[in-house]
Amino acid sequence: MNPIPSGQADPATRDAEILIVGGGLSGALLAAQLLRLPGSRRVLVVEPRSELGRGEAYSAVELGHTLNGNAARMSVDPDNADDLTQWLTRHIAEGGWPESDRQHVPISELFPPRGLFGVYVQQRLAQAQAQGRAQGSSLTHVRGEAVDLETDADGALLTLADGRRLRGAVAVLATGMFPAARTPQTRSSGLNAAALDPWDVAAMARLDPQARVLIIGSGLTMVDAVVSLDQAGHRGPIEVFSRHGLLPHVRRQPPAWEDFLAADPSLRSPRQLLRALRRQCRAAQAQGVDWQAPLDTVRAHIGRLWSQASEAQKRQFVRHVRPWWESHHHRSPPLSAELVARLQEQGRLRVHAACYQGLETDEEGRLAIRLRYRGSRDSVLMAGDALINSSGIEYDWRRVARPLPQQLLARGLVTPGPLALGISATADGAVHNAQGQASACLFAMGPPLRGLWWESTAVTDVAQQAKALAARLVDHQP
Q: Stretch 189-193: mean pLDDT, rounded?
A: 44
Using the predicted structure, report yes or no on whether residue 8 has a pLDDT greater than 60.
no
Return the SS3 of 364: coil
Cross-strand bridge partners of residue 196: 388
Of the candidates 223, 153, 187, 174, the one whose C-alpha atom is nearest the C-alpha of residue 43 is 174
**What would the pLDDT profile of 41-72 be if each residue is shown by its tens digit?**
999 999 999 999 998 889 888 889 999 999 99
* CATH architecture of the domain covering 189-249+331-389: 3-Layer(bba) Sandwich (3.50)
H or E segment and range at residue 440: strand 438-444
Using the predicted structure, report yes or no on whether residue 174 has a pLDDT greater than 60.
yes
340 and 247 Cβ atoms separated by less than 8 Å: yes
Q: Do 189-249+331-389 and 11-65+113-178+395-475 fall under one CATH topology?
A: yes
Using the predicted structure, report yes or no on whether residue 1 has a pLDDT greater than 50.
no
For the full predicted model, state whether its pTM sits above 0.75.
Answer: yes
Out of 150-159, 186-195, 358-367, 437-446, which region has the weakest mean confidence (pLDDT)?
Answer: 186-195
Q: What is the pLDDT of residue 6?
A: 35
Return the SS3 of 351: strand
Q: What is the pLDDT of residue 191?
A: 43
156 and 441 Cβ atoms separated by less than 8 Å: yes
Environment class of 94 (CB within 10 Å of its CB; exposed 0-12, middle 13-18, buried 19+): exposed
- pLDDT greater at residue 195 or residue 399: 399
* CATH architecture of the domain covering 11-65+113-178+395-475: 3-Layer(bba) Sandwich (3.50)
Using the predicted structure, report yes or no on whether residue 251 has a pLDDT greater than 90.
yes
Domain boundaries, the chain: 11-65+113-178+395-475, 189-249+331-389, 260-329
Q: What is the pLDDT of residue 204?
A: 94
